[in-house]
Structure 1
Amino acid sequence: MAKLTANTFFTEEERKRIEEAVKAVEKSTSGEIVPMVVDASYEYPRAEILGAGFFSLASAVFLTWLFGGESIWVFLPLFFLFYFPFKLMIRQFPALRRRLIHPAEIDVEVEEKALVSFLERGLHRTRDETGILILISLFEHRVFVLADRGINAIVPADTWDEIVHTVTEGIRSGRTCEALCAAIGRCGELLEQHFPVRTGDTDELPNLILD
């Protein structure tokens, strides 16, 4: 099975549906909604180092005890012999690497990725400070929603939990495109209440980012 990446996460038809959903919402509000899919929020090198060290240590200790008479001179070559193959194995199997990372670290890295992307992509530069980023981070299996201060000054922060839940459940059930479109529509409803479309509004941001 081919590795799932941000560029292959949606079919061409699904991409068009998502972009159309964003355009439809932005016709009735001054807000800007940007769905974004990334392969991973961070590389997590520590997971590879610690994981490879643990597996190498366990393997070397076992084989040294079994065949080497508990000699350090047998243990050390075995440890280094196993280390790099185990490190490569962890790198090649995302599910294994993910299990070596504490969930709290994943949450922090995904949030940081959202913040950095928000700034790098210019979502903070909209005229009314009404940008919303819906980030889907594939490796981490996380969804994060970040709204600009113009929205957060009015909309309660826990409102975005509903959006995250909608997209997350859609991914789990294999209905990601439908769920994301529904989440975009819900964002539109929230924005329309407080930020209706204004004269001179333009589409300031991309309607879908795959990175």
Structure 2
Amino acid sequence: MSDILSRPDQLRIAQAVRAAEAGTIGEIRCVLAPRVEPDRPAPILAWAAGAALLLPAFGLLAGLRPEWLTRLFGGWSVGHAAAQDGAILSALLVYLTLQAAVFALATAVLSIPPLRARLPTGESAAERVRRAAMDYFLSSDLRATQGRTGVLIFAALAEHRVEVLADEGVHSLAPKDAWSGVVADLTAGLKAGQIADGFVAAVGRAGAILAEHAPRAGGEDRNELPDTPTILR
């Protein structure tokens, strides 16, 4: 990922984080995602279930008869009227088996990456990035900082979206609109193609907010999170 953010640029961002944290007990984490993948399992299953329900039904409308399925897969046919119920049950079982086979095949085909990427999810780019940032925030060590003062600065390049999330120890102190400037600084850098400059500016502003609302009282403050930005794959 060095073509996205070079090593010197990563070091610049790390230095900015160290400088920003010098006057606060807060911790800043920078994350860059080249692209946020949609949450695909539910759409894949929904489309596969639709295929399993509709394709066999369309086959019936096109002239496919249940007894044909019985003869094809069951290997026997009705010999007298008393066996009619058994034939119907057998046809239904074969029909359900066909639906299960269609579902399994459709799931496998739709899981192929090029096809999976084309599935509509009903999730906008903003919602997708917000979900990814929240997932990272909740699954990382950001929520384990002393005093719950972790701040996540998250940028998604392909979606052109930025998210800033502050843990409750900071969120409850700083006004909500205080973080809009952090978003604006990083967004401006991304739009100009200057990713590192955007992060450096955003980190500086976030550090000023943290120094105002969660200042360092004195003494040594342990650096709880890595300063180098994380680049997701």
Tell me the TM-score normalised to structure 2 length: 0.62
Cα deviation for residue 88 of structure 1 reads 3.4
Cα deviation for residue 161 of structure 1 reads 1.8
Report 1:170-209 matches (<5 A): 170-198=189-217, 199-207=219-227, 208-209=229-230
**Equivalence for 1:113:** 132
1:131 is aligned to 2:150: yes
For residues 169 and 90 of structure 1, the distance between their equivalents in structure 2, rounded to whole angstroms, comes to 32
1:26 is aligned to 2:46: no
Aligned residues: 172
Question: Structure 1: which 5+ runs fail to align?
Answer: 1-5, 50-82, 92-96
Letter in 1 for 2:225: L
1:35 is aligned to 2:30: yes
1:210 is aligned to 2:210: no
Contact 2:38 2:128 in 1 (8 A): no
What secondary structure sits across from 1:158 in the alignment? helix
Cα deviation for residue 157 of structure 1 reads 1.5
- For the aligned residues, what is the CA RMSD? 3.2
Contact 1:21 1:184 in 2 (8 A): yes
Contact 1:7 1:210 in 2 (8 A): no
Cα deviation for residue 167 of structure 1 reads 0.9
Query: Deviation per CA, 1:7-54, whole angstroms, max 9, x where unpaired?
Result: 5321111010000000111111111011101233323549x98xxxxx
1:159 is aligned to 2:165: no
Letter in 1 for 2:3: T
**Equivalence for 2:79:** none
Query: Deviation per CA, 1:59-89, whole angstroms, max 9, x where unpaired?
Result: xxxxxxxxxxxxxxxxxxxxxxxx99xx838
**Equivalence for 1:67:** none
Query: Deviation per CA, 1:99-147, whole angstroms, max 9, x where unpaired?
Result: x776x62222211111111122211111111110000112322110000
For residues 193 and 204 of structure 1, the distance between their equivalents in structure 2, rounded to whole angstroms, comes to 20
Match of 1:13 among 5, 8, 13: 8
Report 1:47-66 matches (<5 A): none
Letter in 2 for 1:88: P
Question: 1:22 and 1:122, CA in 2 relative to 1: closer, same or farther beyond 3 A?
Answer: same
Question: 1:33 and 1:14, CA in 2 relative to 1: closer, same or farther beyond 3 A?
Answer: same
For residues 182 and 190 of structure 1, the distance between their equivalents in structure 2, rounded to whole angstroms, comes to 13
**Equivalence for 2:99:** none
Task: Provide runs of 4+ in structure 1 moved above 6 Å.
Answer: none
Identity of paired residues, percent?
Answer: 31
**Equivalence for 1:3:** none
